[in-house]
């Protein structure tokens, strides 16, 4: 019998034109099967242009199963396309579907006929259990966190346990992908790589799915494990730039201090950034800590502001104040660390005046720290969050099928497709704010790693800068640009 396993990473849509990072979730579930001798193939639709042809070749080996993953949104479209092709070629090949969307909406997702097994939560260990059960024809009873059909009925095996010891996880099998095809962030060196140093976030912002996905638990790799991984990347692949894919890298300040000290002490110096860090936690650092942060190679940070209005910050349960955020901003301004601040507009109950407060606050942060920039995103009603219920109360109509969830993206297409609280003219303005924020500040160029996005920045930057300066977001003449960049 074949020992083959095929894992398909779907395209994400708009973000694939901005950056291209490693398929972390696929690498995570591939690790144990690969270690135990299974022939694991990862097919990344974002990298392989003729992915359908490649998938047809891989299926000739009659794999034990095909694994698919997806966020909620456009990547679902491409996951469904892959699933349809698999079943068209060989209906008997089981499809195991996991990831964020499956975890948030398991029962509706499993209504789709192409998905044979649904895996919720972290699959690092349990995916191997599923593979072995399929290989040996055994039942799934003892494997927690699974949905499957038995005699026409959907069966759930019970909630899975969280993984507490990240250090115990097997080494990531980077040899399964073409490392040269990916670029995590623009920090100077041409080659950069991403990997998570932690999972989860202990905070409970009402718009965020973290509570539903990780029960607000934070778990981190030990400093020794992080350093060992960085040294492996340096020696095996020659990387000098790193992007930590964390929700909250600095949650435990003692651990964070230990990490930056260790990074500063590396013989081969690195540059690094992180995807998640909070202003109130940064405020706990001393001047000595900040100096060590710079010495460690930190060159960019990403901080969620979410709103520049105090009423909205309380409404979304941010648990931070604008003054705390400004304090952290002024502390960081002493060093040439590029800081990205993220804002969200279009919340239920948010007024135009409150949205303008966010725009003004983003400009204020920029004035106080010349190394900062702000990006704006349109609020997405995410299933499983407290804010989702608020969205329903304000007229949002929940998608009725997995196909309808494909429209939930960071452009305002979801707002056009589903009844909600945002008027037609307002939808266009929100999209223009989001697009213009990406191009109005030259510091944002660090996020652009594809040639197309860099050329677009050069052409659109003057227009975007004027829009933010004058808060003029009507007449969205950039609609054609948006369709090219995000379509």
Looking at residue 31, its pLDDT comes to: 98
Query: pLDDT over 70 for what percent of the chain?
Result: 94
Residue-wise pLDDT tens digits, 409-419: 766 567 767 78
Looking at residue 440, its pLDDT comes to: 82
Helix locations, 265-351, DSSP H:
279-282, 287-295, 310-315, 322-332
Strand 298-306 relative to strand 271-277: parallel, antiparallel, unpaired?
parallel
Average confidence (pLDDT) over 312-335: 97
Average confidence (pLDDT) over 390-410: 90
Looking at residue 479, its pLDDT comes to: 55
Range 208-217, long-range pairs (CB < 8 A, 24+ positions): 208/382, 208/385, 209/100, 209/104, 209/382, 209/383, 209/384, 209/385, 210/247, 211/384, 211/385, 212/103, 212/104, 212/383, 212/384, 212/385, 213/100, 213/103, 213/104, 213/121, 213/384, 214/162, 215/162, 217/162
Lowest-confidence region among 19-23, 129-133, 163-167, 278-282: 19-23
**Res. 51 pLDDT band, cuts 50 70 90:** very high
Lowest-confidence region among 24-33, 95-104, 468-477: 468-477
For residue 485, is pLDDT > 60?
Answer: no
d(CA 211, CA 469): 36
Find, among 385, 390, 391, the residue nearest to 211 by Cα.
Answer: 385
Looking at residue 423, its pLDDT comes to: 82
Looking at residue 110, its pLDDT comes to: 97
Q: What are phi and psi of 199, to 5 degrees?
A: -135, 145
**Res. 216 pLDDT band, cuts 50 70 90:** confident
Query: pLDDT over 90 for what percent of the chain?
Result: 74
Domains of the chain (ranges, CATH numbers)? 4-156 (3.40.50.280), 183-486 (3.80.30.20)
**Res. 483 pLDDT band, cuts 50 70 90:** low
For residue 484, is pLDDT > 60?
Answer: no
Q: What is the mean pLDDT of the chain?
A: 91
Average confidence (pLDDT) over 65-79: 95
Looking at residue 462, its pLDDT comes to: 80
Q: Are 323 and 285 in contact (CB under 8 A)?
A: no
- Return the CA Rg of the chain: 22
Residue-wise pLDDT tens digits, 285-295: 999 999 999 99
**Res. 486 pLDDT band, cuts 50 70 90:** low
Other CB atoms within a 10 A radius of the CB of residue 76 amount to 25
Average confidence (pLDDT) over 360-373: 95
**Res. 330 pLDDT band, cuts 50 70 90:** very high
d(CA 181, CA 183): 7
**Res. 472 pLDDT band, cuts 50 70 90:** confident
* Residue 367: partners with Cβ closer than 8 Å, 6 or more residues away: none
Residue 462 or 256, more confident: 256
């Amino acid at each position: 019998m074949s020992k083959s396993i095929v894992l398909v990473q779907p395209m994400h849509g708009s973000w694939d034109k901005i950056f291209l990072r490693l398929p972390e979730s696929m690498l995570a579930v591939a690790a144990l099967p690969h270690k135990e001798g299974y022939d694991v193939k990862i097919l990344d639709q974002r990298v392989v242009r003729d992915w359908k042809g490649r998938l047809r070749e891989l299926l000739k080996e009659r794999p034990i199963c095909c694994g698919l993953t997806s966020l909620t949104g456009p990547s679902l479209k491409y996951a469904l396309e892959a699933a349809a092709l698999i079943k068209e070629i060989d209906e008997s090949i089981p499809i195991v579907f996991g990831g964020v969307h499956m975890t948030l909406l398991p029962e509706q997702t499993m209504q789709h006929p192409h998905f044979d097994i649904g895996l919720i939560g972290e699959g690092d260990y349990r995916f191997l259990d599923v593979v072995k059960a399929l290989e040996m024809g055994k039942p799934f009873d003892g494997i927690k966190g699974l949905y499957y059909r038995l005699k026409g009925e959907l069966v759930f095996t019970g909630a899975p346990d969280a993984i507490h010891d990240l250090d115990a996880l097997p080494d990531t099998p980077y040899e399964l992908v073409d490392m040269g095809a990916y670029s995590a962030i623009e920090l100077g060196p041409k080659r950069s790589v991403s990997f998570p140093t932690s999972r989860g976030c202990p905070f409970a912002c009402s718009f965020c799915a973290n509570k539903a996905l990780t029960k607000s638990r934070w778990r981190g790799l030990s400093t020794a494990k992080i350093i060992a991984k960085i040294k492996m990347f340096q020696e095996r692949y020659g990387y000098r730039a790193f992007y930590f894919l964390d929700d909250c890298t600095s949650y435990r300040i003692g651990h964070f201090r230990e990490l930056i000290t260790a990074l500063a002490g590396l013989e081969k110096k690195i540059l690094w950034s992180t995807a998640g860090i909070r202003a109130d936690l940064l405020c706990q650092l001393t001047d000595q800590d900040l100096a060590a942060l710079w010495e460690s190679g930190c060159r960019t940070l990403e901080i969620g502001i979410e709103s520049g209005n105090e009423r909205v910050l309380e409404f979304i349960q941010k648990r931070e104040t604008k003054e705390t955020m400004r304090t952290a901003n002024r502390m960081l301004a002493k060093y040439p660390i590029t800081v990205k601040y993220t804002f969200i507009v279009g919340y239920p109950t948010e007024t135009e005046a409150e949205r303008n407060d966010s725009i003004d606050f983003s400009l204020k942060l920029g004035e106080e720290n010349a190394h900062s920039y702000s990006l704006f995103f349109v609020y997405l009603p995410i299933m499983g969050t407290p804010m989702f219920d608020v969205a329903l109360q304000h007229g949002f109509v929940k998608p009725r099928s997995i196909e309808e969830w494909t429209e939930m993206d960071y452009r305002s297409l979801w707002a056009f497709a589903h009844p909600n609280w945002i008027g037609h003219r307002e939808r266009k303005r929100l999209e223009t704010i989001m697009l213009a924020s990406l191009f109005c500040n030259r510091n944002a160029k660090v996020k652009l790693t594809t040639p197309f996005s860099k050329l677009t920045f050069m052409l659109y930057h003057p227009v975007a800068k004027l829009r933010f300066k004058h808060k003029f977001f009507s007449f969205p003449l950039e609609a054609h640009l948006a369709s090219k960049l995000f379509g």
